[in-house]
Structure 1
């Protein structure tokens, strides 16, 4: 690893290590199945976990798994050669979900949902088969924030992508060690590392995805106001149920006036008047 690559790699490791610690993602004796797609995120995830495996005060096993979904022109040799050269234990699964997705998805509709469900089912089943205690996915900070706004805009739900998740049947635990890591930082490192990227010609080739539109919106926010996305992510870790509208999450019906409490509602000390007025002006421009 060159000095430049190491310089780009260090903050990624720091962010991932913090997320793993905060959410207790990996424990002593774990077998972690690392889902490798051939994209920049999963390559970077594998590098980070290999690095931490050598230095962490706990022992855990890594198994890299790729699902060959039968996409036309998929270069079957790339990942086995890469992982063998790296000395990483790995397995390649072959199942033609590509044909199923193309057959079941109406023309003009997005393939992501069905493709994701099929892929998830196959990987969950395989994780149980090999005794994996954790399934590591390469979703990063921007994926989490895109999911948050997708659910808000199109599903009317305040819901994101959790850093650690138990599957519906309770049989698998999914972890996202890159939850704190920005996509742009992964991209810089991946470019320097020179990974043999395998493009997706199914979901990745669709241009008019709502997720892509939301992603461009977030990128615009970050360009105009650096640090805004990090603040949005932090807000997901500092939730105040009493200041939302979910009646199941907070018992609004039982509230009664208590003079000692008071409703701070808006804290001018935390958000100075100048910034408040600038925020109002920005919202006015957006309307």
Structure 2
């Protein structure tokens, strides 16, 4: 008797809690619980860029919604910042293939950032955030979920230290300053990028890259880095892992246990403290 072939979507969903349980499902649940990212009654807008990270996030959130005892709602938003028709269609096709009911809306972000020479990636990220918050609030959501993962957290921390002259991490959740009642969450906070890549490759799936002129320049470079500082840090960490396989875990652990007693300065809740301000104090707090 011929065995019925399981549809790709069901196969991909099943693998999240079976084959990739230890590397995807368990770290995902650990992050959600550790940082209290999902609460009963939440209406969460899962933001989908079309890349591997946001698609895995969408599927994991669907699985969580099916298995949780604390009900919450999901909507799946796709913001088109100016993709060409082929890239837009790729997102639509992948969403249909994996049964993710997306809501698509347009913006002019690529058109704006293409004529900016200074910090275009920062401007792009800031504009994206604003558009996503605004649309999510319009849809009645109280949270937006982004696909930043463990590897993003580590790379951002190292990049800030090397190029931003600051020890600054990427927190698992943030309260919006400009959109009242809105919160940003990162449910993939404990999920390694390698696990996401393994899941994608196992199912022979193909997802969208950033598709802006800066990543095109990176992809055209022979070293795979181009002018991307993030790619440079990614390659550096990969090299360092050869001699120290736990280097990323060490960075991740470090941002959870910052020793403020050893710092010669810090910023806390809008206040800047220099060494002389901190020396001899028992606690941080508002200045007189």
- TM range, smaller chain: 0.7 to 0.9
Contact 1:16 1:179 in 2 (8 A): yes
Moved more, 212-221 or 162-171: 162-171
Distance in 1, Cα, partners of 2:129 & 2:179: 14
Change (3 A) 1:58 1:4: closer
Distance in 2, Cα, partners of 1:197 & 1:223: 28
Distance in 2, Cα, partners of 1:209 & 1:37: 19
Instruction: Report the counterpart of residue 128 of structure 1 in structure 2.
Output: 137
Match status 1:163 vs 2:172: yes
Change (3 A) 1:239 1:130: same
Q: Cα deviation per residue 1:244-280 (whole Å; 9 max; x = unaligned)?
A: 2226288642269xxxxxxxxxxxxxxxxxxxxxxxx
Instruction: Report the counterpart of residue 215 of structure 2 in structure 1.
Output: 204
Aligned residues: 253
Aligned to 2:77, what secondary structure does the other structure show?
strand
Instruction: Report the counterpart of residue 278 of structure 1 in structure 2.
Output: none
Distance in 1, Cα, partners of 2:67 & 2:29: 11
Compute the displacement of 1:112 (Å): 1.3
Match status 1:189 vs 2:208: no
Change (3 A) 1:243 1:63: same
Q: TM-score, normalised by structure 1?
A: 0.80
Q: Cα deviation per residue 1:74-116 (whole Å; 9 max; x = unaligned)?
A: 433333343345443320011222111112x23xx66311211
Which of 16, 28, 32 is 2:28 aligned to?
16
Change (3 A) 1:170 1:101: closer
Match status 1:114 vs 2:123: yes
Contact 1:19 1:179 in 2 (8 A): yes
Aligned to 1:32, what secondary structure does the other structure show?
strand
Match status 1:49 vs 2:58: no
Aligned to 2:74, what secondary structure does the other structure show?
strand
Change (3 A) 1:231 1:185: same
Contact 1:23 1:163 in 2 (8 A): yes
Q: CA RMSD in A?
A: 2.3
Contact 1:65 1:90 in 2 (8 A): yes
Instruction: Report the counterpart of residue 99 of structure 1 in structure 2.
Output: 111
Largest Rg, 1 or 2: 1
Distance in 1, Cα, partners of 2:111 & 2:231: 24
Aligned to 2:78, what secondary structure does the other structure show?
strand
